[in-house]
Every structure is written in structure tokens, then in C-alpha cells.
Amino acid sequence: MLSQYTLSAVALLASLAQPVIAQVSTKCNPMNTTCPADPAFGMDYTFNFNATPSTDAWETTVRPVTYTADNGAEFTISKQGDSPTIRTKFYFFFGRTEIHMRAATGKGIVSSMMWLSDTLDEVDWEFLGVKNDALSNFFGKGVEDFKNGATHAVSGSIHDDFHNYTTVWTKDQLEWWVDGSQVRVLKATDANNTAAYPQTPMRLSLGIWAGGDPRMAAGTREWAGGDTDYAAGPYTMYVKSAQVTDYSSGKEYSFGDKTGSWESIKITEGQLYRQGGPARGT
């Protein structure tokens, strides 16, 4: 399974919509240099997207995204180059996200949820517009390994109905859940003996993109379900809410060295596992 955020082909979309490139990069990689501390979330909160979310918590990295009382956040591809995306301004250090969303239909259209860290650790949910499956994926330190993905059946339509996609993350394992049922577990020790395991503070992104764009590589277009017909659109992904739980507390997260390990993370005015332990996916 491919991921928008780690494909080298994403540079092709950047020629159509320059902001796309911001989704796959980091302003400062702590494994290469000393970087500023990241703002910590340090709490649990449910963001309902029936209105524009606070700009203190979220930023729109690629426009347009609209917000409605009935369907929440609407991410729409109307023309070539569109890839509307929002991203948290805060970071969480181990935690849980619960996303209630409805994927977009359409050949070559990919709806997605991504966690990304400054070291390019990554955790994904992706949904193709031509298949009724949920796709899970992960990457460590930006290393592209396309054997990390998995496909999960979903009861009911992912395109017509809202579903609950939850991800639970600790230093020991990652869990993916669909509608309250666990569909995948990744042990940290099974990710190249923890070297490929995502383990540094993350931000949450929600967005949609055209993997079937004609300027994408043939393999990407094939994976996404074929060439995107923009004239047959628009194509819209809907997100009603996003619950974010930071398992740590504090004001800031920073890196104590350049190893990219969870043990190197320094927490300002807080602690790891603030509530005594992680919650489950249900």
C-alpha cells in the first residue's frame, strides 16, 4: 500500500499546488540539527467540525475546506491540483485519535488521515474512492517501506456512511480500530526491532488527494484505482469530528539528542503517560 505523504511522486502534485509539499516535509529535522521545541497538546479533547475550528489548534495547509452543521468538515477536489488539508498546530507524544469520517468516491481519489512527526515518523489511514476497504500504514524516520501496509474490510459503505477510525499509540505498540473493533496491532519490536517504529511527537492531518492525477507515476495511479476524471467530480470527503488524546502532559516536547528515539524526548512541565496509562481503542 502506498501513502501520499511518503511517495516521491508527491513532488509532481507540488507543481500543480505548491502547498502540497508542506505535507511531506519538516521545517526542522531533530535527527540532523537542533530544533525548536514543539507545542504539546497535553490533554484529551473532541473537535466537532460543524463550525470552523479554532485557529489556535488547527491550520489549513491546503485550501479549500468548508464546515457544515450536517456533515462537518468537507474536503473537496473540484479541479486538478486540489488537495484540501487541515493539520493540528499542536503535537501529542503517544496517544489516541478517533476520527468519524466518510470517504470520498471517485477513481483515483484518496481520503486520508495522517500522523507525522518532525523526524518523519508516520501513521496512516487511507481510503480509496473505488474500494470499500480501510488501509493502514506506518513509516519510521521517512524510510519508504511499502510492505508496512495492510487492508481491512469495513461493514457497510465507507463512501455512503460515517465510520469510526481509531488509532491507539504507546511506546510498545500501535493499534488500528474500525467501529470499535481492533483490526491491526503492530508491536514496536516487530518494526525492524523498533528502528522503524513511529515513536516521536506527532501532529494530526486530515485531507484528500488525487492519486490518479495524470501527472502521477503509473504505479501510483494504478494503486489509487485509475486515472482521475476531474470533469466527473467534485469529490468530497467528510469528517464530523476528531478526538485527540495526548498520553503525555506538559507545555512542550523537545529532542535531547539526534537518535530519534522516544527516550530522547524531553517534556517541559509535564510527564509521559499523564493519566497513569493509555486508554483502549473503544
Mean pLDDT by 10 residues, the chain (282 residues): 46 40 71 97 98 97 94 98 97 98 99 98 98 97 91 98 99 98 98 96 98 96 97 98 97 97 97 65 52
Residues 231-243 pLDDT 10s = 999 999 999 999 9
**C-alpha span between 197 and 71 (Å, rounded):** 34
Tell me if residue 252 is catalytic.
no
∠ CA 213-219-222, rounded to 5°: 65
**C-alpha span between 33 and 273 (Å, rounded):** 27
The verdict on residue 276 lying in a domain is no
pLDDT for residue 2: 54
The verdict on residue 25 lying in a domain is no
Tell me if residue 126 is catalytic.
yes
**C-alpha span between 281 and 171 (Å, rounded):** 15
Q: How many domains does the chain have?
A: 1
The verdict on residue 116 lying in a domain is yes
The verdict on residue 123 lying in a domain is yes
The verdict on residue 184 lying in a domain is yes
The verdict on residue 103 lying in a domain is yes
Range of the domain at 132: 10-14+38-268
User: Sign of dihedral through CA atoms 33, 39, 45, 46?
Assistant: negative
Annotated catalytic residue: which of 98, 122, 144, 252? 122
The verdict on residue 69 lying in a domain is yes
**C-alpha span between 280 and 166 (Å, rounded):** 10
**C-alpha span between 167 and 161 (Å, rounded):** 19
Q: What is the CATH number of the domain that holds 59?
A: 2.60.120.200
The verdict on residue 2 lying in a domain is no
Per the omega criterion (within 30 degrees of 0), is the bond before 278 cis? no
Annotated catalytic residue: which of 59, 74, 98, 126? 126
pLDDT for residue 43: 97
pLDDT for residue 37: 98
**pTM of the full predicted structure?**
0.91
Residue 217: CB atoms within 10 Å? 14
